[in-house]
Structure 1
Amino acid sequence: MDDRQFRNAMGKFATGVNVIATEVDGETYGMTANAFMSVSLDPKLIVISIGDKAKMLERIRESGKFSVNVLSCEQQEESMRFAGQKQFEDKFEFDELAGVPVVENAVCQLSCEVYNEHTEGDHVLFIGKVNDLAMTEADPLIFNCGKYRRLEAMEEVK
């Protein structure tokens, strides 16, 4: 199988859309990602996956902390901004949670410190210990088969 075929197969799995953010030397950085999951309740751990060529990789290593911001279905523009899909003249203003930059109005904001890291293939998995979180009542932004999507409730199967 070639890289494109594998990538297309992985795109069949619907994911939420997240912005990973960190701060280094007073400058805040964000990156759109969908490789995120929970790992443990005790301690409260999550994992994010960052490509080994991404600028965010060294920034997280340097800061030792990051946030995961689960975007709402109203935040496609924020996703596009931090994925480099769309350019903006204005500087993005982040909020803060437990000393870490977060995206305002995200469905969920997780403030994390790097707990561990593992290099696997061409990505680095950062295990983050969640120090604080905040949530809002909104539907998440979904990404599937190369397109942004919204959730739609289905009838229960009986």
Structure 2
Amino acid sequence: MIDTQLFRKAMGEFATGITVVSANDKHGEVKGITVNAFMSLSLDPTLVAVSISNKASIIQTLADANQFGISVLSDQQKELSMIFAKQKEADQPVPFDILDETPVLKDALVQLVCEKESEVEAGDHTIYIAKVKELQVQEGQPIIYYGGSYQYLK
């Protein structure tokens, strides 16, 4: 049996970008969560995958939604990452853009609108596979997560 804390430490040795996955709930309210388990899957069709804990408050929203947004955060958006990771309270409304009726974070490096293709339960997480329907790309540098803390490219 592998120790879960050791496994977590080992996985922290893999540097990742930081995203916020967002969707409208059934009442039209925007829900979001910070996610670093994100990857591209295919160019044809354009598919991505995100992995979300089954304990996350957004899990029912994503189960109900046909599409969701993914925002790749810039090095200027650490505070937004912390807000959606529930590590910090927002002191003002979070700025969203709406693309194809889907919320994405304003000024993110990349804004994706994704149509859910499938979901797969994998242990204590659900992996959402989605087709990218729309995307916007902006100039800037990413914020990354490595060794349990935020890092910046130099």
Which interval holds the TM-score relative to the shorter structure? Answer: over 0.9
Is 1:86 the equivalent of 2:88? yes
AA matched with 1:96: I
Unmatched 5+ stretches in structure 1: 153-158
Pair member with larger Rg: 1
Identify the residue that residue 8 of structure 1 maps to in structure 2.
9
CA–CA separation in structure 2 for the residues paired with 1:80 and 1:120: 25
Q: How many matched pairs? A: 152
CA–CA separation in structure 2 for the residues paired with 1:68 and 1:31: 10
Shift, 1:88, TM fit: 2.1
Identify the residue that residue 121 of structure 2 maps to in structure 1.
119
TM-score normalised by length of structure 2 = 0.95
Unmatched 5+ stretches in structure 2: none
AA matched with 2:100: A
Is 1:101 the equivalent of 2:103? yes
Identify the residue that residue 30 of structure 2 maps to in structure 1.
28
Q: Which SS does the other structure have where 2:89 is aligned?
A: coil
AA matched with 2:15: A
1:35-114 equivalences in 2 (<5 Å)? 35-114=37-116
Q: Which SS does the other structure have where 2:134 is aligned?
A: strand
CA–CA separation in structure 2 for the residues paired with 1:95 and 1:88: 17
Q: Deviations over 1:117-150 (max 9, x none)?
A: 1111111000011000001000101100011111
CA–CA separation in structure 2 for the residues paired with 1:64 and 1:112: 9
Q: Which SS does the other structure have where 1:89 is aligned?
A: coil
Superposed structure 1 runs of 4+ greater than 3 Å apart: none
TM-score normalised by length of structure 1 = 0.93
